[in-house]
Structure 1
Amino acid sequence: MTCNGGTMTSSTSCVSPLEVSEYDPSEYETQHLGFTPKAFCNGVYNAALEYIQRAIHEMEACLTNEQYSTVMTPAQIKEACDVILSTMVGKLDMNFDIIETYLMKNVMTIPDNVLLPEDKAQAGDIMSTEEEDVLDTEIQELKDKILAMKYANSKLMQEMTLIDIVQARFDQAQKQLQRLDTINSESGVSDLKDCLMFTSQKVLELMSKVKAMQTDNKSNAMETNETNG
């Protein structure tokens, strides 16, 4: 016995014809309903089919009772019940196809312009093309500013390195000046002019001593030569 093209026995259930189709239920509908529309239709179809099978089985059991055994043989009763079951299943398939198509298209579907309450919080995350362009422009501007700041920081580091070099030289010069001040203080010189004069005087004195030493050396050399001659 068949069920709209599918094999069926009295002890098994036949699924909806839509189950073997390529219908792909929407995830959004499943999110809202808590189940897939396809699973719901299959459940209703299998429940109706089970009721029909149970009713025909009970009718067959009743007809094969001893009370009606003189009218039809058990084989004739089973054959007749199978024909009735096949006819009813065919009617169920034909009518359920119509019901199922209507439910899928008109009842268990969510229009494209409808937003579920649990998704409204995310509605603000959807941006238009113009908003995306504006955001891309702002991102690019921020990138340019970051690059400019990196360049400025690099130049600043170079300047700070130069400043450190100049500071080191200044500290060295300051130490030298402090040493001169110490020497001046120890020599009783309190002014730079006096310091220069003092230094000049010392240089002149040294030069005089050197000249005197040179004159003495020449005189000694002449005396030695005369003695030897």
Structure 2
Amino acid sequence: MSINPMAYEAQFFGFTPQTCMLRVYIAFQDYLFEMMLVVERVILKKLDGLPNTKIAPSQIRKSTEKFLLFMKERFDHLFSKMEAMLLQLVLSIPTNILLPEDKAHEQYLYSKEQFQGLQSEVDQLQQQYKAEVSAGQALRAELEEQKMVQMELEKTLQWFDGLEKVCREHRTSNFKESFAFLTQLSKKLQDVLKEIDEKNKRLQKKE
């Protein structure tokens, strides 16, 4: 059997030509063995009908095996010629023929250096994409953190608003200086809240 891998032919046929030839060889060989058994049974049947025959069945079996060996040698010799012809003329693809799925290789030819350059460019793009994904995740995490801070500040402002309302309703003079301080602090917190809100908007635009 041929030892040429014939990978391109296997791509086209869906099986290796050597596998095809091996199956054909086994099929013919099995048929040859079956025919020899049939011939042996016919001979033994004919001998049973002959009176006073001195030929034993074991002699028939030896003769059958000898003839089978002779036929197998002849068959192997003929099959090797048939295999060479089929592998060269029928089951082979000429070197100047391209399969339809490989036409792109003929249209876009690249040297080893060009391919390495393209591979390097692909690696750089992959790294850039990973960096952008990481940056996006960091921005989203920061945005969530800013939202949490914003919620806490809003709660604090609501508390100051409630305190101011209570002071107005009860007109407590003892809280005059404290109230002025709290008012200033409330304005500062409002400024911080506004700054955080603007920063959140900028982060959302970057995403």
Which TM-score applies when normalising by structure 1? Answer: 0.44
Q: Which has the higher contact order (CA 8 A, sep 6+)?
A: 2
Higher helix share: 2
